[in-house]
Every structure is written in C-alpha cells, then in structure tokens.
Structure 1
Amino acid sequence: MGTANQVEAELTAFVHDPAGLHAELSRRAVAETCTYADTYYDDADRGLAGRGLKLRVRRISTGEVLLTFKEPAIDADGSKPEHETTAGSAETLHTVFTALGLRETAALTKHCTNYRFTHDGRALLATVAEIAELPGRTFLELECVTGESEVREALQAIKQVLGDLGLHDLSTVSYLKQISGSAGRSR
C-alpha cells in the first residue's frame, strides 16, 4: 500500500475449527507462515488514537520490517486508508519516534498463516492468526486492498468468502482493546 486512495477493506471472524479452515484455504492457495511482532506508537496524551490514527512497526519473522500508518475508518465495517512501506531497521524507527516524543503504547505477537487468492476478480489475503496475548483464540482476517470508491464491493466479496467458509461470528473490537481488557469481540 502507499497511494493516498488505497483502502484496506477487512473483516475479522472468530475461528472455531482451525484445522478445517486451514484445509479449506489450502484448496485455494499455498500457505505462507510467519510471525509478526507489532509495536504501536502514540504521544503521551494518546493524541493519535484520539484522532483515529495508528502508527505501527511490524517485525516479520522473515526479516522484513514494515512501517504502517492507518487513517480513521471510512465506514462502519472499519475500512481504513492505510499507508505502508518497508523499513531497514525497527530500532532506527524506535529511536526516531522516541526523539519526536512518541512512545510505545502497545505490542502484540501474531502467529500467522497467510493465503493469497482471488475471488470475484479481487486479490484477497486470508490470514489465520493466533495472538500470543489472547491464548486459545484463533481469528481469520480477510482483506482486500482497493480504491475508496470500491470498498463496498470489496466488502461484499469478503463477506461472500466468509460465508463460503462457514464463518459468521465476526469480531468488532481490535486485538489491542481485547488485550487491554475491554469487553466485546476482538479484531
């Protein structure tokens, strides 16, 4: 992602049969496994979060480092303009952010199996995720990067795939809020 009009249309569902889901997704695509170590940054007053913004550094077990900036959601499903780029060093980003007055506000570890496939002409990424800080739970994140004018159609394709997979228990609260003890479902 990177251009201003790119939006991440994504829905997250609770998975009650991980083995069955992996089997079904393996019929659609080759599995890619990795671990993400995510660190979120904000100022002392949580001004970014207060404006619906997120700044994340992701270390991937493959050695890649991603810097991600998410803007506020543009719809009720939580679709957000997202800007992402590779970075050479998470430590350098940490140094810059702290020098600018930002601090680490949260961290989580995601054990992921990714499946990339197309549905209805759209490139989808299905991530089966287990969050170390939420033991015993498995989630499916299903996303499509699209232009802002096509978010509704992308979400319809995502909902169709979720239905085809038998996943109807959608989550509505972020993983971070779930980890911090907020009530409700998590994403």
Structure 2
Amino acid sequence: MIEAELKARVHSPEAVMRQLDERAEARVEVYQDTYYDDLAGSLERRDQELRVRTVHGPNGLRTVLTFKDTTVDASSGSKPEHETRVEDSQEAHSILQGLGYIPAIAFEKRCRNYDFEAYGRHIFATLVRVPEIDGMFLEVETIVDEADVTSALDDIRALLDELGIGPEDLTRETYTSAVAAQGR
C-alpha cells in the first residue's frame, strides 16, 4: 500500500485548526522518532527510511516500526509504507542496532491528529510542530493502491484548498533534513 501524502507549511494555524476541529475530534500526541541507517548511509541513498516511533498520547504509549520504500510519486514524495506495532520500544532499538543499523537522527514531533472521511476516502490529517524547525506544518494522507496515487493526491489537494492551503504552501522538505540542517 502507498501512503499518498502531501505536506504544507501552515500560515494560519488557528484557522486551519478550527476547520479540522469541525471535521473530527483532535487527538494530541507527541511522537519520538528515531531514524536508522547503516554506516554507509545506504537507506538514505536508496530513498528508503527505517524508523522507530514512540507515540505519547492520551491512551498511553505505543511504538511503531516503519519501513518506507522508494518514492513512487516525485511531485509529492509518496512512498510505499510498511508498519507494525511493537511491544517494547527498547527491544526494537536493540534489534535494529544488532542488525548493524545506527540512529541517524532523532527528534520530536508535536502533533494534533484528525481522522475523518473526505472525497470518499479515509483521511489522516496532522498539524505538526517540530521544535527545531520554525513554523507549523499540515500533513494530509490516505492509504491507497499504487494505481490510485494520482487520484488520491488530487483529492488531498482539493481538501487542502478547502482549508485555505494553496499549491505554493506545499513542501517536499523532510523533517529529517530540516532537523539535520539545524544541527550543523
């Protein structure tokens, strides 16, 4: 399955938040993300990602191991995503390190998450703040088959337009590269 996703800089966070609050109940969570690679940086060179995410939310903690394969849509950066919940976050980190992966970068995402239906699709929208990066972002995604990526992205663009976010606000910059740039 493909995570068809667009990310945008949000210039009017309060207005966007109000509109999303009208569509669904917000779930406030903090993500602790650690991205792994080998010493040679092979995953990054192949446009792949390996991540352990621990989510701190109203219902406690949960940890998810994610592998994102190479980009299938260059304009959006949408990728196939494989994800599974893990019981013990420390064990997940230990397993990856035992396999020769090292933490490449770690950071926190402060998220306000929304689940709702739009354009006949299940939509997951997240307002995001990353302490190391100025501003707020909105990620909007839906899970689709590869044949449906273009149509799904068109629907996401239409939803973003409803929220007052235009094509000029879209960004392909990753949090990992932006956080890494702050550390230099």
TM-score after normalising by structure 2: 0.93
Residue pairs, 1:79-90, within 5 angstroms: 79-90=78-89
Residue pairs, 1:141-156, within 5 angstroms: 141-156=139-154
Residue pairs, 1:6-21, within 5 angstroms: 6-21=1-16
* Counterpart secondary structure, 2:23: coil
- Spell out, residue by residue over 1:32-67, the C-alpha distance to the aligned partner (whole angstroms, 9 max, x if none): 110000000110001111111100000000300000
Aligned counterpart, 1:160: 158
Residue pairs, 1:95-110, within 5 angstroms: 95-110=94-109
Q: Please, which runs of 5 or more residues in structure 1 have no aligned partner?
A: 1-5, 183-187
Counterpart pick for 2:40 among 34, 41, 45: 45
Q: Please, which runs of 5 or more residues in structure 2 have no aligned partner?
A: none
Superposition deviation, residue 85 in structure 1: 0.5
Runs of 4+ in 1 over 3 A off after TM superposition: none
More helix by share: 2
Aligned counterpart, 2:77: 78
Superposition deviation, residue 79 in structure 1: 1.0
- Spell out, residue by residue over 1:103-138, the C-alpha distance to the aligned partner (whole angstroms, 9 max, x if none): 00001100000111111100101100001221x410
2:71–2:78 CA contact under 8 A, matched in 1: yes
Residue pairs, 1:48-67, within 5 angstroms: 48-62=43-57, 63-67=61-65
* Counterpart secondary structure, 1:132: coil
* Counterpart secondary structure, 2:73: coil
Once residues 115 and 99 of structure 2 are traced to their aligned partners in structure 1, the CA distance between those partners, rounded to angstroms, is: 37
Name the amino acid aligned to 2:181. G
Superposition deviation, residue 83 in structure 1: 0.2
* Counterpart secondary structure, 2:161: helix
Once residues 19 and 126 of structure 1 are traced to their aligned partners in structure 2, the CA distance between those partners, rounded to angstroms, is: 15
Once residues 101 and 87 of structure 1 are traced to their aligned partners in structure 2, the CA distance between those partners, rounded to angstroms, is: 19
Aligned counterpart, 1:25: 20
CA RMSD of aligned residues (A): 1.1
- Spell out, residue by residue over 1:14-43, the C-alpha distance to the aligned partner (whole angstroms, 9 max, x if none): 011111111011111111110000000110
Once residues 119 and 11 of structure 2 are traced to their aligned partners in structure 1, the CA distance between those partners, rounded to angstroms, is: 26
TM-score after normalising by structure 1: 0.91
Once residues 23 and 72 of structure 2 are traced to their aligned partners in structure 1, the CA distance between those partners, rounded to angstroms, is: 30
